Amino acid sequence: MARAVLAGTPVSPGIAIGTLHFLHDTRRVRRQRIHPREVAREQEALCRASVALCHAFEQTLDNVPQELAEYRDVIGAQMELARDPKLLAAIRDYIAERHVRAELAIDRIVEDRCAKFRKMEDPYLRDRAQDIRAVGLRLRECLKGSDAGRNPDVGSVLAAEDVSPADFMDRRPGSLRAVVTVEGGPTSHSAILARSLRIPTLVGVAELTDAACEGEPVIVDALEGRLLLDPDEMDLARYVERQEAYQQWEVHCWTGVRLPAETTGGRVVAVEANLENPRDLPAFGECGAEGIGLYRTEFAYFRERLPSEEELYLEYSKVAAAISPAQVVFRTLDSGADKLIRAQAALREQNPALGLRGIRFSLRYPDIFRGQLRALLRAGATGNVALLLPMITGIDEMRQVRALLMELQDELEAEGVPYAADVPLGGMIETPAAVLICDALAGECDFFSIGTNDLVHYLLSIDRTNRHVGYLNDPMHPAVVRALKQIMDTARDRGVRVTVCGELASDPYALTLLTGLGVDAVSAAPRFIPAIKHLIRQLDASSCDDLAECVLKSADAGASRRMVHDRLARQLGDELPFFTASFRTPGQ
């Protein structure tokens, strides 16, 4: 058996066998104080390290392949951080005030900044701490006169306190078999890059630097979340077999991406993609998605100034034209709760999740909303566009938007600007109010999109990011299942198409249940789509129907999950762990 088995969180699935190589010097920073006359020397060394690191980042930028060009912005931002006057000044002041070496000052100041980000509720913002920490580690290496671990041997498993996209780009293509880190999060830039490169990755391996040794053989199980140190022959034989089975499964999923997702009983479920900027278009083209079921528009607003109508039009038209004739569903501005633009931040709401968010914010600030709607109508002339309104709680909201769209169409007509005359308008069903009046909303909506993340949040009265109640976030809760049933039955009776675009679309248990409830389409991140289509093709429609009936009769969420698990285990056999690992949503 292995010398030790360490636990971690998989953020990029797979299995790898290789030799451990530490990216950074794992020895602790020397904590001895320095004499006051040595302060200037340490401060000068810090400046030289900053210059050296910026030069290293410039070389890395030159090596970024075109297909990963989006990471140039990330690396560029880290380069700016490496020469940030405020950061460097804080480190220099720490050296001068505490009379400590630059290494220790870097660690303390960087950790202080990371701590501020880790307190943020939004997981995406929390994981920005990783960017700061990664720069700090590289700065320390440059301070020592080296940037250690730049080109390990082929077949290595990269180990580090933390890594950044630049650390990936500095490696020779194909040299990395896996990555394991002490820090990091599932929505970090590095985790996202690892998934796109299909490099098995574990984060949160707390005992890594204390328990693991440079150069020792390891097995990275990024399906179950384990790192095996110095495995024996039995471990190696078992994992070689498991690795081959997983790789064959992956190949099988990807070879079928262009096939429809049709159950053995002939029921077809459309599988679409969630996107959030035009840089995601290459992933859309590769994954076999049949359209864009959810395009998140809010990210263009999270900057120093609001985007202009023309900027929004260029973004939306690029996306619409790229996937035409397939449809793209643009969700209108859905900031609020943990995603605040400046106009909302100024409101200082005590509970933003129940405040002026989604369609409420857009209707309160019509100048912002009109610019977005004009851009969307104009983009409709370049492709197949639909609009989706978030946080709907009543029919009056739908009617106000329809009236505004008609007014804007008249404006564009008078100006001689091309626009889409007939754009489908849908409502997000993500509040208890929307569920209870979905029959009335069906008369106002061309389609429904169920936002399961917020629906579960509001139905169960929990904050998923709250560690005290996060365990209650259960899509198998009978209230959630019955709400889904009510929405889909009503929509079917009224001839309204239903898409599920939340995390349930990439949960194999929930996806099986949704198929039985009669969902028309699911929309998920591109990386999940090959496995989603492969799973649906193995499901039996009548069996899913029977399962949904049994779950609907259950008042016990645990019993419901066991029912679904047992049914899937019989149907999928040894493949079930591959599905659960590959469908694992970041943050789960």
Three-class SS state of 350: coil
Asked if residue 282 has a cis previous peptide bond (ω within 30° of 0), the answer is no
d(CA 48, CA 139): 10
Under DSSP, the state recorded for 151 is S
Most distant CA atoms of the chain, gap in Å: 82
Measured in degrees and rounded to the nearest 5, phi and psi for residue 311 equal: -65, -45
Three-class SS state of 158: strand
Q: Which residues pair with 158 in a beta bridge?
A: 21, 179
563 near 553, Cβ under 8 Å?
no
Structure tokens at 341: 């633009």
Please list, in sequence order, all residues whose beta carbon lies within 8 angstroms of the beta carbon of residue 586, skipping any fewer than 6 positions away: 11, 123, 185, 186, 187, 191
Q: Which residues form the catalytic set?
A: 189, 501
32 burial type by CB count under 10 A (0-12 exposed, 13-18 middle, 19+ buried)? exposed
Query: What is each CA distance from 199 to 17, 105, 114, 456, in whole angstroms?
Result: 12, 33, 26, 32
d(CA 309, CA 290): 28
438 near 407, Cβ under 8 Å?
no
Cα–chain-centroid distance for residue 581?
15
d(CA 358, CA 516): 30
E strands, 525-579, where? none
d(CA 447, CA 462): 27
State the pairing for strand pair 497-500/447-450.
parallel
Q: 76-85 long-range contacts, Cβ below 8 Å, gap at least 24?
A: 77/131, 78/131, 78/134, 78/135, 78/164, 78/166, 79/53, 79/54, 81/131, 81/132, 81/135, 82/50, 82/53, 82/54, 82/57, 82/135, 82/138, 82/139, 83/50, 83/51, 83/54
d(CA 466, CA 548): 30
d(CA 430, CA 410): 32
Q: 277-285 long-range contacts, Cβ below 8 Å, gap at least 24?
A: 277/315, 278/315, 278/318, 278/319, 278/322, 279/69, 279/70, 280/526, 281/319, 281/322, 281/323, 282/67, 283/196, 283/526, 283/527, 284/323, 284/526
Structure tokens at 215: 């150069």
